[in-house]
Structure 1
Amino acid sequence: AAAEIMRTDGIARATTKEIAQRAGFSEATLYKHFVDKTAIFGAVLEERLPELGAALRHLAGRVGEGSVEQNLEEVVHAALLFYDEGFPMAVGLFFERRLLESHRAGVLRHGSGPRQVNVVISQYVRAEREHGRVRPDADPEAVAAVLMGACFQHAFHRHFYGEQPLADPADTARSLVKVATDGIVVRQPDDG
């Protein structure tokens, strides 16, 4: 019910009263499962798009394994889908300053938020740099910003122009990662 309301009416109109009513519960029952509306929003995104959370959780354990590009492609692929699905739900936050401030405070209480994706990616790139697979002069924060900024821009453009979803998000992820990593990844002799 929360996902449907957030997608069609936006997060600003997704009151706990409306969510509970559409779900067939009392508002009190809703609060037995969720601390606040921010927790509901987080749960909706995690339920609908668990791939991004899983990709981010696994990224740190992949330092030195596979290729840097493949590891980042998994995250970027999941982020493309996440931002595309989440954009219509989240855009309503910016219509009302009070709502944005309340949501921001809730996100900080929960230790989450949009910046966390960049933090995890930059930590991974920094660890790969220390491992010798990324050039010493690479800027981990810039790599994360370029990749996630591109994912967000894809979602923004698609929804703004009313375009169809990406035909092949994995191919788009590969292209974005290639552009971002060509100048930073240390090539081994057997990499070709």
Structure 2
Amino acid sequence: MPPTGVSLNDPREALFAAAERVLVRDGGVALTSRAVTEEGGVAKGVLHKYFSDFDTFLAELIISRTAYVATIADELARTAGRNEVEENLAAAMSRLFETPAIQYIKIAIARDEVRKHLVALGQERLPILLQAVAAVSSYIGAEQRAGRIRRDANPAAVAPMLVGALHLLATDEPTAATDYARVRELVVEAIRR
């Protein structure tokens, strides 16, 4: 039985970290409030002390873990004008769907209440995907202005196509979306058109 008197410096972060460990090890199907509190080594009531319900917890977990997309977007933006366009995009995009990111996306898609909580918290329903589309679109636009991508390419169309293709790939075969060579093939096809 987990201890009930464990002192947590940052209880919310400790619960998020426990949830992430469960996701990475066992997948989204295993992610329950009981699994999170057991993994965190805390009493069952601790989660509900900080979150009104499990769907709120999941929505806040997703929000807390989407900061990495902004980091990837910043790194991608700094590569504009340097190296090969395909190389820059493939390197950034192959990091977008690393575990547990694809699990967060699956949770947001599968759980209506989580999406409602995301919106109530001022977020998009699928923040990781939409942030990724914005980052890729911005990068493609920057490369267009630098003359490295065709002027008639439409960043607003290419970006969701690339992110969507990767999402489908990751959903079907999670490691494929992080495979640089496979991601580069998608990028080459998308920006060549």
TM-score normalised over the length of structure 1:
0.68
- Gap regions ≥5 residues in structure 1: 160-164, 184-192
Q: Secondary structure of the equivalent of 2:94? A: helix
Report 1:15-164 matches (<5 A).
15=33, 19-25=36-42, 27=46, 31=50, 36-43=57-64, 54-79=71-96, 81-82=97-98, 85-106=100-121, 108=123, 112-158=127-173
What is the one-letter code of the residue matched to 2:75?
H
Choose from 25, 28, 33 the match for 1:10. 28
CA distance in 1, matches of 2:169, 2:112: 25
How far apart in 1 are the matches of 2:120 and 2:64?
17
Q: Percent identity?
A: 22
Aligned residue for 1:190?
none
Which amino acid in 2 is paired with 1:122? Answer: S
Aligned length: 167
| Aligned-partner Cα distance in 1 for 2:132–2:169 | 16
Structure 2 length normalisation: TM-score?
0.68
Write the distance in 2 (CA, Å) between the matches of 1:114 and 1:158.
Answer: 17
Instruction: Using CA pairs under 8 Å that are at least 6 residues apart, name the structure with larger relative contact order, 1 or 2.
Output: 1
Query: Per-residue deviation at 1:176?
Result: 0.9
Cα distance in 1 for residues equivalent to 2:108 and 2:177: 28
Give the partner amino acid of 2:61. I
Residue type of the partner of 1:175? E
Q: Where do 5+ consecutive residues of structure 2 fail to align? A: 1-17, 51-55
Asked if the contact 2:109–2:115 (Cα under 8 Å) also holds between the matched residues in 1, the reply is: yes
In 1, the alpha carbon distance for the partners of 2:192 and 2:114 equals 41
